[in-house]
């Protein structure tokens, strides 16, 4: 999963926090290189709520597992652009040929995390 794209800093700069415990959906969408509308669809929240009330508990609760999986992925692939591409575009055989984004969207973030932990222990994915 290594590449030669210009590396971005880890999630700290890719996802600046609005408040101590609040994640910025717009920043996360930029980190994944998707539109806010696409993120709203993945999170199953209304775009207006995502944009106007990004600190809404529903938005934050739905965003949290995606951020966790991307953070875990960034431990394996420090190039944030390549990590984002991997998360949203690489079908994984062990996850039913779904991408990590699809697995988390389907409510199976724990499976995605186990898969990434398996990769970090040196097994092939």
At residue 61, the pLDDT reads 94
Whether 73 is in a domain gets the answer yes
Tell me, what DSSP letter sits at residue 93?
G
Whether 8 is in a domain gets the answer no
Backbone angles phi, psi at 19, to 5 degrees: -135, 180
Mutual orientation of helices 36-43 and 25-32 as an angle, nearest 10°?
Answer: 110
Whether 68 is in a domain gets the answer yes
In this prediction, the residues of the chain whose per-residue pLDDT falls under 70 are 1-22, 123-125
The total number of structural domains in the chain stands at 1
Domain interval for residue 112 = 14-120
Whether 5 is in a domain gets the answer no
Whether 125 is in a domain gets the answer no
Helices in the chain by DSSP H: which ranges? Answer: 11-14, 25-32, 36-43, 47-52, 57-76, 80-89, 100-105, 109-120
């Amino acid at each position: 999963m290594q590449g030669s794209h210009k590396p971005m800093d880890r999630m700290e700069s890719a996802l600046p926090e609005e408040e101590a415990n609040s994640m910025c959906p717009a920043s996360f969408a930029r980190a994944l290189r998707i539109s806010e509308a696409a993120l709203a669809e993945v999170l199953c929240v209304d775009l207006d709520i995502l944009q106007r009330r990004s600190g809404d508990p529903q938005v934050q609760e739905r965003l949290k597992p995606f951020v966790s999986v991307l953070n875990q992925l960034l431990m394996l692939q420090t190039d944030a652009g390549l990590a984002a591409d991997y998360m949203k575009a690489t079908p994984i055989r062990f996850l039913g040929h779904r991408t990590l984004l699809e697995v988390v969207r389907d409510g199976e973030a724990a499976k995605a995390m186990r898969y990434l932990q398996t990769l970090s222990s040196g097994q092939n994915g």
